[in-house]
Amino acid sequence: MHDLTGEYEVDVWPDNLAEKILGLVPEGEQKTKLGRRIAIDDGRLFGARDHLIWLFEETWADVGERLPWIKKPEDVIEAIRVWDNPNQSTGDHYIAKCLLRPSSVPVTQKWLNTQRRELGKLNNAVRDASATLEKRNNELDTAKRALSDHLSDGDKAAVLDQISRRGQKLSDAKSEFDSLQKQQREVEGRLLDGEASFARNEFARFCASNRYRLEPVNIANAIAGLPLIGWRQSITRCKKHPSNRGGGQSIQIFRTIERIVRSCVRRSDLMEHAEKWLRDKKTQKSHGATVLRNKWYYLRWSIKTVLDADPRVSTRNLPFAITREYWKRIKQPSNVDVLFEEGERLVI
């Protein structure tokens, strides 16, 4: 079994900007300057990390509750199931698609590298076959345009012969192109299944490692390099260049609700405690507290709904359940909600 956390020696993104730039450098200079090529460049890695920070923060009320229970790769899909929503863009990112892919196959790093090299060769072959197909099609069009009623019988026969020959070449080129495309799809499907297995395995290993707190920035750092590098390499590289993202309104509201719940001694007093906590002048500078003061009507009903829920919500999960209920009410307010929300705003 190979170590799945090692960096890959092949570039599986042949169309990226770095590849095109390197194509302009003489081959001799490339050998002296490049050395071992890394699997994912910093730009792509940090871009993925910043997007994942946003994604985890926006869905933390659903995802954060399930992360501590991830013990095996299969648990990952259930934990992030909320991302698989066709009405939102949460599942559009390539890492989200990889983690949510329903099919997978156990893999080793060697197997992944072999499939990537094969796919790279097929990508090149398909591009070449496409160019040939276009060329043959143009050649046939040229021959067809040459056919005219004004031609002599001899010239007409010669043109028809060319049309027949070029038509056969076009047919052969189309068959070759279709065959290569079929092989390309098959290899791509196997590779995507393998990458899904690798990515979920690494995600599960990170969650089970207990080396970092399971919070949006740490998780984003760990999985930003998937499925190209393991979580240890990903988090090591990302931590050297901290992100200036994070701390958006969604996670601030969750953290505020969490602090309110954790500071309450008796859950039966939670609604009264929440109002007192939000009215405290010490929370005046907190953006999350400011938002919740203005939306106290929704928070109050969210707390009541969750406390009255059957089966009983555990104390540990109260912040997540209350936040989910809060967002549901905020996004779909009734006419009655709109009527009363302004009158219930809390004033310090």
Number of domains in the chain: 2
Of 226, 245, 264, the residue at which a domain comes to its end is 245
- For 338, the domain range is 249-344
pLDDT in tens, 238-282: 999 999 999 999 999 999 999 999 999 999 999 999 999 999 988
Q: Which two tokens stand for residue 52?
A: 């994942």
Whether 302 and 317 map to the same domain: the answer is yes
pTM of the model: 0.82
Whether 314 and 197 map to the same domain: the answer is no
Whether 141 and 70 map to the same domain: the answer is yes
Q: Which two tokens stand for residue 28?
A: 């001799």
The Cα–Cα gap between 20 and 14 comes to 8
Whether 124 and 221 map to the same domain: the answer is yes
The Cα–Cα gap between 312 and 190 comes to 44
Which residues, 6 or more positions from 139, have their beta carbon under 8 angstroms from its beta carbon? 166, 169, 170
Whether 78 and 221 map to the same domain: the answer is yes
Whether 262 and 311 map to the same domain: the answer is yes
Among candidates 295, 294, 325, which has minimal Cα distance to 308? 325
pLDDT in tens, 33-74: 445 578 899 999 999 999 999 999 999 999 999 999 999 999
Of 202, 227, 245, the residue at which a domain comes to its end is 245
pLDDT in tens, 88-146: 888 899 999 999 999 999 999 899 999 999 999 999 999 999 999 999 999 999 999 99
The Cα–Cα gap between 281 and 264 comes to 18
Task: Give me the residue label for tokens 């707190």.
Answer: 213
Half-sphere exposure of 334 (CA within 13 A, CB side): 6
Whether 77 and 180 map to the same domain: the answer is yes
The Cα–Cα gap between 42 and 302 comes to 42
Whether 79 and 104 map to the same domain: the answer is yes
Of 214, 245, 276, the residue at which a domain comes to its end is 245
Whether 54 and 76 map to the same domain: the answer is yes
